[in-house]
Structure 1
């Protein structure tokens, strides 16, 4: 496989957070035979799982505390900021892979 195509596929796995968060990395993981590309696909897929788990967890915590304002603020700060950090991490990783 062409090295340029490998870089593009690997970078798109990270950037797919914006257009196909789970589908694109999963398809690339199973469809491409290159070890480097599948490694990036797996890493990006796992990083896309975090917001999927964090946001409902924050809602559950808020509901269990009877929508206490303090619990809502802590949940938003904790899960919202970490989800944002994961998004930034995916962008940085995609840029790093693409520019190598």
Structure 2
């Protein structure tokens, strides 16, 4: 098995033990296809958090402009529902991509 495939696959599997950190390290110390997979893994680890921050900003704006607890409460639940589904999607996507890289399909 090619060590570059294993390292690229570990970038995706790092969602279990070192999300964001391992893909950044691999990105700066590798080259070629491994660097491409490290970049993809980094973004797939960071996107859910960007959505969460955006959701809090939208939640704050909606809550401030409406002054209604009902609307703010519904938007809060909606934001966390979207965040949870997005996290689940990216978690599963990272596992699938890690397996595909190991098998040489990606």
TM-score, normalised relative to structure 2? 0.78
Contact 1:54 1:83 in 2 (8 A): no
Further displaced range: 81-90 or 58-67: 58-67
Give the whole-Å Cα distance in 2 for the aligned partners of 1:83 and 1:57. Answer: 14
Taking only aligned residues, the RMSD between alpha carbons, in angstroms, comes to 1.7
Gaps in structure 2 of 5+ consecutive residues: 64-68
TM-score, normalised relative to structure 1? 0.83
2:17 is the counterpart of 1:19 = yes
Flag the structure with larger Rg.
Answer: 2
* Number of matched pairs: 97
Alpha-carbon shift at residue 41 of structure 1 (Å): 0.5
Gaps in structure 1 of 5+ consecutive residues: none
Alpha-carbon shift at residue 86 of structure 1 (Å): 1.1
Deviations 1:53-100 (A, max 9, x none): 122333333344446221122112222211211111111100111122
Give the whole-Å Cα distance in 2 for the aligned partners of 1:8 and 1:76. Answer: 34
Deviations 1:3-31 (A, max 9, x none): 52111101100011221112111111111
2:82 is the counterpart of 1:84 = no
**2:50 alignment partner in structure 1:** 53
